Amino acid sequence: MVPAILAAALVLVCAPGAHAAKKQSRKSSRSRPCEDMSAAEAVIAAERFKVAGEVDSARDCWEQAIDEDEDALHPLVQLGDLHHTAGRLEKAMGLLDRALVVEPRSSLAAASAGGVLYTMGRFEKSVARFEAAVAGEAQVLLFPRRWGCSHLRLLSSRT
């Protein structure tokens, strides 16, 4: 009796066509999901993919945004963080260094770079990056480009 009820529940919840359609949907979304998007659209899509746990699609969208705007601070930092998480430390560090060239006072980029350096075992350099992240005169907050800016500087009360 119990197996029959479970079988009926599975049929109701997971109809044969629904599972195949969901699988096909995931497959098609992995084939360059942001290919025809502007940098701003790619950033928004990357955030959505990241939240959904679709790391490969998020990475593709961050790369698309950087292709469109090589000085895009937010995508550089986010893509650097993805590479750090995946263990591609040199690639992560290269992206975060680029982000710090774009905006040397970016607390987020400096903190992320500090994390990568720590993972690499470069502890003194890591501490220096973490100190730079908290000691700057200006903090840089990142906003999606759909708002017309990639970041906004807020001056600290010390100036």
- Tens digit of pLDDT for each residue in 70-92? 999 999 999 999 999 999 999 99
Over residues 95-142, the pLDDT tens digits come to: 999 999 999 888 889 999 999 999 999 999 999 998 888 875 445 544
The CATH class of 35-155 is: mainly alpha
Query: Residue 150 has what pLDDT?
Result: 40
Alpha carbon dihedral 66, 68, 74, 79, in 10-degree steps, equals -20
CB 49 within 8 A of CB 33: yes
Residue 135 tokens, joined: 């000691």
SS3 call for 133: helix
**What is the domain partition of the chain in residue ranges?**
1-31, 35-155
What is the radius of gyration, based on Cα positions, of the chain?
21
Residue 136 structure tokens: 């700057």
Q: Which amino acid is residue 128, in one-letter code?
A: A
In the structure, what pLDDT confidence band is assigned to residue 152 with cuts at 50, 70 and 90?
A: very low
Task: Report the mean per-residue pLDDT for the chain.
Answer: 75
pLDDT computed for residue 137 by the predictor: 45
